[in-house]
Amino acid sequence: MTDNPNPTAKASGRIGPPFWLLAELTYRCPLQCPYCSNPLDFDNTRQELTTDEWVRVLRQGREMGAAQLGFSGGEPLVRQDLAELIAEARHLGYYSNLITSGLGLTEAKVQSFQNAGLDHIQVSFQASDPELNNAVAGSRKAFEQKLAMARAVKDAGYPMVLNFVIHRHNIHQMNDIIELCDRLDADYVELATCQYYGWAFKNREGLMPSREQLVKAEAEVNACRERLAAAGSLMKLIFVTPDYYEERPKACMNGWGSLFLTVAPDGTALPCHSARLLPIDFPNVRESGLSSIWYDSAGFNYYRGDSWMPEPCRSCDEKGKDFGGCRCQAYLLTGNADNADPVCSKSPHHDRILAARRAADHATTGLEDLTYRNPENSRLFFRG
């Protein structure tokens, strides 16, 4: 699929600039989370962009009008040039956000990132207790390190922003997680149920909570919100439900090639962090400028607008709201990214979602049965 099937989107001239630039600096990571959104074959990706190449990408993005910049990975802290890239981002006028596991962070690094002009840090946790946290992360010291770094971030004057990925093995911990966050004096807590891409799709059966678990968790979060508000806490709890339990799909990325531009560690430019799994040729920032990638490349025009849509999306009166849902999810679940996202109850493939829900009701998979995200397992995928 290399030809642009969607020339009308390109020719329409109605495409605005990217607002969000996500710089996936590396796929290297000290942790092994079985729900990582990185590609299964990440270890096959060599040759990360150099510092100079990233600086060029940041400059081109800002010239186009991008305002928000995320540094993620893998674990972005393994890049020795992170402070330099942060300084460049500040110089260019981005609002920059570091998305980190906290592993490899030190108080001195927090200070140096702050001096370089970093605006925001988000630290991820795996659970409310060291045993489960470290088992999921695949690291014996992860929990203590995360606690220390969450405190260091706050001590430096940043808001404490914590992220917990929620799945069937930690969803019973809602009260404990929120209590931990309250003790840490967190400002924002994202309780994000797993999205099934990358390693999470591979492990979906072992990760997806049952509806019963989900309903209970949401009620606990709501009760905690009330308790916290009554106690005068300003901590914000954001509970993100999995779209597998919805009847309409999410407006993924706010529409393909509309606001988000991701650059993968090797320079591949993508409309979302998962799109490299699609059978589409995506451009590389080593070969083309960001502006021509965004406006002119076949990959970014592929699903712009709605002329690509087959039924039932084509005649649906909600297509302007959800844009047919998620292309990566359609591909993962039906083998064809053109299809309506099977989350939609109007999709002829909605039975795949119903089957996943039924499987979640009866799953017995333990943590030991999951496939962990590490170079060894990654090599198994691309070597076959």
Residue 217 touching ligand FES (CB under 6 A): no
Of the residues 133, 274, 297, 347, which one makes contact with ligand FES according to CB under 6 A: 274
Please list, in sequence order, all residues whose beta carbon lies within 8 angstroms of the beta carbon of residue 192, skipping any fewer than 6 positions away: 163, 164, 165, 166, 238, 240
Query: Which CB, 6 or 210, lies closer to ligand FES?
Result: 6
- Minimum distance from residue 250 beta carbon to ligand FES (Å): 8
By C-beta, is 272 or 298 nearer to ligand FES?
A: 272
Strands 161-166 and 236-240: unpaired
What's the gap between Cα 372 and its chain centre? 17
The minimum distance between CB 65 and ligand FES, in angstroms, equals: 22
- CA-closest candidate to residue 73, choices 207, 263, 252: 263
* Residue among 118, 252, 264, 290 that touches ligand FES (CB under 6 A): 252
Site membership for ligand FES, residue 264 (CB under 6 A): no
Residue among 113 and 308 whose Cβ is closer to ligand FES: 308
Task: Note whether 344 binds ligand FES by CB under 6 A.
Answer: no
Cβ within 8 Å of residue 326, ≥6 positions away: 243, 249, 250, 252, 341, 343
Is residue 313 close enough to count as binding ligand FES by CB under 6 A?
no
The contact mask relative to ligand FES for 110-129 (x = CB under 6 A, - = no) is: --------------------
Residue 249, classified by CB atoms within 10 Å of its CB into exposed (0-12), middle (13-18) or buried (19+), is buried
- What's phi and psi for 359, nearest 5 deg? -60, -40
By CB under 6 A, is residue 82 in contact with ligand FES?
no
Q: How many residues bind ligand FES (CB under 6 A)?
A: 9
> Per 3-state DSSP, what percentage of the chain is helix, strand, and coil (rounded to 5)?
45, 10, 45
Stretch that binds ligand FES, among 120-128, 180-188, 216-224, 322-330 (CB under 6 A): 322-330
Cis peptide bond upstream of 289, omega within 30: no
Q: Please report whether residue 72 would count as binding ligand FES according to CB under 6 A.
A: no
Q: Annotated binding residue at 224?
A: no
Segment holding 98, helix H or strand E: strand 95-100
Residue 328 is assigned to a ligand binding site: no
181 labeled part of a ligand binding site: no
269 binds ligand FES (CB under 6 A): no
* Contacting residues for 53 by C-beta, under 8 A, at least 6 apart: 267, 285, 286
- Phi/psi for 247 (5° steps) reads -105, -10
Q: Is residue 261 within 8 Å of 21, Cβ to Cβ?
A: yes
Per-residue binding string, ligand FES, 31-70, x by CB under 6 A, is ----------------------------------------
Residues 178-207 that bind ligand FES (CB under 6 A): 197
Task: Using CB under 6 A, list all residues that contact ligand FES.
Answer: 197, 252-253, 272, 274-275, 326-328
